[in-house]
């Protein structure tokens, strides 16, 4: 009878050790996941902070550009200002003569058909310049000064490059 209790005790101890090791493994996996989520959270908050700084810098540049423009004319001059005439593209002028354009469309929107879309590739070229300067060993401040960008914008470009590699 004593051997039966000894064997049962040993089996119960082995089962409890196995359960404890499973729990330990699960807890360590949860800790790793928590650390990964915290790092993702920190990275996201850094990116958002950088984006907000970039937006603020752009907003300030925009406000400076607006303040550099000449002030509007006084009301007396505005009333006597000559009318501005726009030249219409030939096709659109012909369509208008034929009555194809809708009568409810405002005059300033009728010229939109003659406009062409353009793609600005300068942003990609600037990113390539930032990456090349970084590879040449220049600091973030030097790169920002050379390219005319903000430090945070340069940091973001370099972080995105690291993520893509």
Q: Is residue 152 part of a domain?
A: yes
pLDDT of residue 105: 58
CA–CA distances in Å: residue 27 to residues 15, 21, 24, 32, 33:
18, 10, 5, 9, 10
**Which pLDDT tens digit goes with each residue over 18-54?**
999 999 999 999 999 999 999 999 999 999 999 999 9
153 lies in some domain:
yes
122 is a domain residue: no
- Tell whether 147 is covered by a domain: yes
Number of domains the chain contains:
1
Domain range for 132: 128-164
Q: Which has the closest alpha carbon to 54: 131, 125, 151?
A: 151
Q: Is residue 133 part of a domain?
A: yes
- Nearest-angstrom CA–CA distance, 7 and 2: 9
Q: Strand (E) positions, 83-134?
A: none
Cβ neighbors of 133 (< 8 A, separation 6 or more) are: 142, 143, 146, 147
Q: Which of 122, 90, 92 is nearest to 108 (CA)?
A: 92
Which structure tokens are listed for 127?
């990113």
Closest C-alpha to 150, from 48, 67, 56: 56
**Residue 113 forms part of a structural domain:** no
**43 vs 160: CA distance, rounded Å:** 11
Highest mean pLDDT among 6-20, 76-90, 93-107: 6-20
> Which one of 75-89, 92-106, 124-138 scores highest in mean pLDDT?
124-138
In a domain, 64, yes or no: no
Q: Which residues of 18-28 are buried (b: 16+ CB within 10 A; e: fewer)?
A: eeeeeeeeeee
The structure's pTM equals: 0.34
d(C-alpha 86, C-alpha 133), whole Å: 45
Q: Is residue 58 part of a domain?
A: no
């Amino acid at each position: 009878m004593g051997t039966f209790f000894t064997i049962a005790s040993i089996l119960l101890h082995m089962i409890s050790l196995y359960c404890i090791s499973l729990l330990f493994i699960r807890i360590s996996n949860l800790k790793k996941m928590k650390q990964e989520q915290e790092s993702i959270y920190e990275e996201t908050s850094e990116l958002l902070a950088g984006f907000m700084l970039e937006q603020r810098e752009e907003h300030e540049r925009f406000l400076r550009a607006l303040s550099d423009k000449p002030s509007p004319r006084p009301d007396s001059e505005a009333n006597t200002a000559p009318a501005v005439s726009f030249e219409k593209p030939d096709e659109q002028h012909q369509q208008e003569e034929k009555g194809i354009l809708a009568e409810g469309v405002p005059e300033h929107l009728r010229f939109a058909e003659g406009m062409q879309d353009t793609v600005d590739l300068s942003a990609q070229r600037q990113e390539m310049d930032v990456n090349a300067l970084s590879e040449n060993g220049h600091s973030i401040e030097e790169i920002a000064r050379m390219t005319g960008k903000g430090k945070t914008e340069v940091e973001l470009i370099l972080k995105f490059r690291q993520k893509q590699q």
